[in-house]
Amino acid sequence: MIVRTIHWQKLFFFCLGLFVGTAFCMKWMESDFVLNGDIFTIIGLEKTYSREKVSAILTGLDSSVKNILQYHLAFDFAFMVGVYPGIAALCMLAREKYSSKILRNILFGLAALQTVAFVCDVVENIYLFNWIKNPEISSYDFSNYHIVVITKWIIALTGALMAIPLSLKRQKKI
């Protein structure tokens, strides 16, 4: 099991570096998300803004802010490569420390589900790219978009919040 653990550790640390680097770049870009003197956020576009507000923001963007938002979404694809495989690796590292079959299966399931979260994040970005081009957002599309976003967050947070404390354990329980 040491060989498997080493591979998961290498993957985790690679993903952590990619996650930190891309998160820094995306956070830096967010300071330019300004519309009519007001700042808007990616989290707002994802979760808190109404359909009308998202449409109004995307309609009112000047070309420079629109370009920065598109660059941000492009960086998000690299971020995804860091975050979801990183959470999966963390789940697998935690899994190696426990002998309980139920816990091991749960951690394996959470690791596997990170692929679903990854796909959800890709779909989310596709919605946003399309809405940047055409900000007329239907209620149906906006509802589906929120289902995708919520699914992504639930899977990713569940995996991370379960794996982090469990992976901090020192030795495998016999």
At residue 171, the pLDDT reads 62
Q: Is residue 44 part of a domain?
A: yes
pLDDT at 110 over 90: yes
Q: Is residue 172 part of a domain?
A: no
Question: Do 51 and 142 meet the contact criterion of CB atoms below 8 Å apart?
Answer: yes
pLDDT at 3 over 70: no
pTM: 0.90
Count how many domains the chain has: 1
pLDDT bin (cut points 50, 70, 90) of residue 108 is: very high
Q: Is residue 55 part of a domain?
A: yes
Residue 120, Cβ neighbours under 10 Å: how many? 22
What value does the mean pLDDT take over residues 43-54?
A: 93
pLDDT at 170 over 80: no
Tell me which residue range forms the domain holding 32: 2-167
Query: 83 Cβ partners below 8 Å, 6+ apart?
Result: 15, 19, 156
Q: Which residue has the higher pLDDT, 4 or 122?
A: 122
Q: Is residue 151 part of a domain?
A: yes
- Which SS3 state, helix, strand or coil, does residue 39 take? strand
Q: Is residue 173 part of a domain?
A: no
At residue 173, the pLDDT reads 54
